[in-house]
Chain A
Amino acid sequence: MDDNQSGPPVDPFAGLPGASARSLGGAWQAPGSFGTTGRGSRMLGGTGRRATVISTVSTLVVLAALAAVFLLAPGSRQVEHAFFNPQDMWRSFVGNPRQGYYSVGAAIWLNIRMFIVAEVLILVLALVIALIRQSTHPAMFPIRILSTSYVDFFRGVPLILVIFAIGLGIPALSLPVVSSQSDAIYGVAALVLSYSAYVSEVYRAGLNSVHQSQVAAARSLGLSHRSALRHVILPQAVRNIIPPLLNDFISLQKDTALVGILGTIEANKAADIYSEQVFNFSSFTVAAILFLILTIPLARFTDHLIDRDRRRRLAGAAR
């Protein structure tokens, strides 16, 4: 390996089409180590160094091309001014209520709070729906039909319509307590309703991924249906669905921005208000950056879990 100091660890697959994923967070890595005998490592080291050069050059070429397109476009000065004006970015980030606009940096906290509350509720509601749909007891038939309709309905209706329906419809009902909540709460309710339909399907896939023989083994030991589900089936199901689950939550993080249509001052709405005051869109760039700061760590964490799971499977299969 001594002739490979400049490059990353030996990766005989770099340079192949799959290799680009590697630079995006190491989703693709050579399985295990490929021995360290002199001849083999020299050979692989050579390939690895060459691959590093190729991937570096191709990255630079692509970035340069994109920059050229942007800089050579006739309106690039205007776009730069409208979207990337440092002064406007800073002003919208800190906000100034006296001049009638809110801090995007402060408003993102509402997105984070909505996301966390919605996530917990979705995890619970979606599990309940999935378990109802998986039940086989005849007495559960009406509830089963109801859950299926629920999933069909909320997967089919655009989220933005659900937010409008809940945010404008529920207050219009003039019910006690229910009709006098804040828009953020209606927004969270809409997110929970819509996302639970998706996430329940993810749970269902997870439950189906656990082999029937596991149920037989658990029941044959005298465990009740409930115990078997709780201690044997669910833990395995959840382990299998963590990556798709996190994927849905990355999506949920940014969809909290849609709640702004109800007038709630979340990051996107705050950016919107700023842009209307000064006719500059740099505030949206700030919101975009803040959302990226939230979602990218979760995306990398998902990659890490997928990778770890794959390595574990390889280790298990190697026996």
Chain B
Amino acid sequence: MSADGPAVDARPAPDEGAAIRIEGLRKSFGTNEVLKGIDVSVATHEVICLIGTSGSGKSTLLRCANLLEPIDAGRISLWGREITGPGVDQNLVRRYIGIVFQSFNLFPHMTVLQNVTLAPRKALGMPRARAEEEARALLSRFGLDDKEAEFPDRLSGGQQQRVAIVRALAMRPQIMLLDEVTSALDPELVAEVLDVIRELAAAGMTMVIATHEMGFARDIAHRVCFLEEGRIIEDAPPAELFTEPKDERTQRFLRRIIAAGRL
């Protein structure tokens, strides 16, 4: 798998510790403390799903890990190197961590191909011909061959989200953060996006996935973290967390999910 595409060609795992290690992370927006001390680490090739109600801090955690939000306290390191300290080149860090958003955030004034090639060309200085060649390879791998000349508003939600994933992959990240990537999709379009994520997991991509798709989380995750009010309440393999949750709050959350018919 990792041999036939450039972007998922995950670097051999460096030995120095976890791919991402987050320690004592706190983040407030005004007086509202959204993250109240998060400790979690993700090993290389590991897939972690974050579950919890809206507002529990999943998205903020991912945005902090991508340095899109400055943090108030704590530290984040990649393979043992701290990225939240002073003098860190944010643009360099972001080449190693891709993020995909709930609302796709494709560039509406650019074609699919331009969306995918912009960052490799302008951030990596890749020549246009090579960037396009790699973009086409990725697009065809995710069933988007015939869409390269389309503008985003001509695509379905599922197609747009797949383009967004390809756009992030074009930077050859070592880690992918997925922020509720299926939440804005019509139900019948969810599967095509989840398939893409499964493919990435099979290729060994290190991923942190915030999701409301419990069945998917149970299938794909090595570990599932349940967040509530800015804290990780429970962190366990899916078989354990979904069948015998230890914490009372996790149990309550899962009961509601089951009652809603989503597990």
Contacts and interface: CB of A to CB of B under 8 A. Distances in A.
Contacts of A239: 109
A224 interface: yes
A282 B68 CA distance: 65
A39 interface: no
A167 B248 CA distance: 79
B98 A319 contact: no
B95 A217 contact: no
Contacts of A217: 101, 105-107
Nearest to B93: A222
Contact of B167 (A213, A214, A221, A231): A221
Interface string B116-134: 0011001110000000000
Contact of B94 (A221, A235, A236): A221
B142 to A, nearest CB: 17
Interface in A302-319: 315-316, 319
Contacts of B66: 220
A224 B123 contact: yes
Interface of B: 63, 66, 68, 90-92, 94-95, 98-99, 101, 103, 105-109, 118-119, 122-124, 153-154, 156, 167-168, 171
A273 interface: no
A316 B108 CA distance: 10
B91 A223 contact: yes
Given A221-B118, A319-B153, 20 more contacts: A213-B101, A213-B103, A214-B107, A216-B63, A217-B106, A219-B90, A219-B91, A220-B168, A221-B94, A221-B119, A221-B167, A221-B171, A222-B91, A222-B95, A223-B122, A231-B122, A232-B107, A232-B118, A236-B107, A319-B154
B43 to A, nearest CB: 23
Closest 7 CB pairs of A and B: A217-B105, A221-B119, A316-B153, A222-B123, A222-B94, A222-B95, A227-B122
Interface size class of A (residues with CB under 8 A): 20 to 34
B98 to A, nearest CB: 7
Given A213-B103, A217-B107, A319-B153, A222 B68 contact: no
Contacts of B108: 236
Nearest to A318: B153
Nearest to B106: A217
Given A232-B107, A316-B153, A216 B101 contact: yes
A235 B123 contact: no
B98 A223 contact: no
Contacts of A236: 107-109
Contacts of B122: 223, 227, 231
Max count, chain B CB within 10 A of own CB: residue among A216, A217, A218, A239: A217
Contacts of A214: 105, 107
A315 B99 CA distance: 29
A218 B99 CA distance: 11
A221 B68 contact: no
Overall SS of chain A's interface: helix
A220 B153 CA distance: 21
A64 to B, nearest CB: 48
A319 B99 CA distance: 26
A239 B91 CA distance: 27
Interface string A203-235: 000000000011011111111100100011001
Given A214-B107, A217-B101, A222 B153 contact: no
A88 to B, nearest CB: 52
B231 to A, nearest CB: 25
A231 B118 contact: yes
Nearest to B167: A221
Nearest to A211: B105
A153 B189 CA distance: 54
Max count, chain B CB within 10 A of own CB: residue among A219, A221, A224, A319: A221
B171 A222 contact: yes
A213 to B, nearest CB: 5
Contact of A220 (B94, B103, B109): B94
B123 A213 contact: no
A217 B99 CA distance: 8
Contacts of B154: 319
A43 B221 CA distance: 61
Contact of A216 (B68, B107, B171): B68
23 contacts: A216-B101, A217-B105, A217-B107, A219-B68, A220-B94, A220-B99, A221-B98, A221-B119, A221-B168, A222-B91, A222-B95, A222-B123, A223-B91, A223-B118, A223-B119, A223-B123, A227-B123, A231-B122, A232-B118, A235-B109, A236-B107, A236-B109, A315-B153
